[in-house]
Amino acid sequence: MKVLITGGAGFIGSNLTKFLCDQGHEVTVIDDLSSAGHPPDEIDKRANMVVGNIGDDKLLDKLIPGKEVVFHLAAAGIIKLSLENPFFYFQNNVQNGVKLLEAMRRHGVDKIVYSSSSSCYGEPEKTPISEDHPLNPINPYGGSKIAFEHVLSAYYHSFGIKSVSLRYFNVYGPGDEQIPRTRAVPTWVANAVEGKSLPMYWEGKQKKDYIFVEDVARANLMAAGKCDGFRVYNVGSGNGIWMYDLAKVLEKVIGHKLEIKQMGERKGDPTVTVGDISKIKKELGWKPEVDLETGLKRTIEYYAGRIKK
């Protein structure tokens, strides 16, 4: 299968690139490197790596023809920054996404798997959160992700471009080189490896659903096989863990006591985000395979290797 991965130098994108190459697919990656992901020389050498932006129509006209599926991961993804510059988030995450769809339309490519987010739900009215839960994003990032889902629905019904939106919960694992680091697991793991304290918001009284990045990559490939309309699936573990308990699990895995630094409250954070994954299990046959302790161990090994370099 010939595929294009937008944002393929990022955390999830680089893992998806390797996974699809391992499966024997022909992969082209486009990434403008603006989110400080992996440099081009760290992307799987079996993939064709192109540095560029999906807002570049001429570049898309070179990359799109002949592709069977587009995996769309390119996005501005830091919630804190979306509060500081919401216009950029809607421009990058929605307007540039429309340019991508228009390029697909020009060249007859009619399948796209979209990396959406549980941020679409906002503060949940009930948990676990199913796909039919009301969509009430509480930050511009979440608003931009659900806005593009609506665009995908419109393009399917208007132009026949089939899509699957995967609403990720909290993805973690090796390869998360986000700068600045705002996600808890990479921040905590890197700090733990370096002997620093762990910054904790809301006194750890947030319950989150953590899913390992390789499980997310599998979900993307399985979604491509079900790209026959407009579909939406949650991608998570289906289980929630309080952040103060996550710190205890990390202590267990790393083998020593960790210092916690309480950081107070932070805007844009929902209290509970735990996904109902029964739909994706039933319709795609996907389920998580990597448990939290194993995933954290592999993440620790990755950061320990990076920090020693």
DSSP secondary structure letters along 55-112: T-HHHHHHHSTT-SEEEE------HHHHHH-HHHHHIIIIIHHHHHHHHHHHTT--EE
Catalytic residue among 89, 114, 121, 141: 141
Alpha carbon dihedral 100, 103, 109, 115, in 10-degree steps, equals 0
Q: What spatial distance separates the first Cα and last Cα of the chain, rounded to whole Å?
A: 36
Going by the DSSP 8-state scheme, the letter that residue 139 receives in this structure is: S
DSSP character for 48? Answer: E
- Residue 233: active-site member: no
Closest by Cα among 68, 165, 166, 54 to 110: 68
> Which two tokens mark 204?
């750890």
* Inter-residue long-range contacts of 301-304, CB under 8 Å, 24+ positions, other chains counted: 301/174, 302/173, 302/174, 302/175, 303/174, 303/186, 303/189, 303/190, 303/193, 304/193
Residue 289 to residue 286: CA distance in whole angstroms: 9
Q: How far apart are CA 149 and CA 268, in angstroms?
A: 20
Task: Report the sign of the C-alpha dihedral through residues 78, 79, 81, 85, in that order.
Answer: positive
Q: What is the separation of C-alpha 18 from the centre of its chain, rounded to a whole number of angstroms?
A: 15
Look at residues 209, 192, 214, 169 and name the one whose alpha carbon lies nearest to residue 303.
Answer: 192
Under a CB-based contact definition with an 8 Å cutoff, are residues 146 and 137 in contact? yes
The catalytic residues are: 141
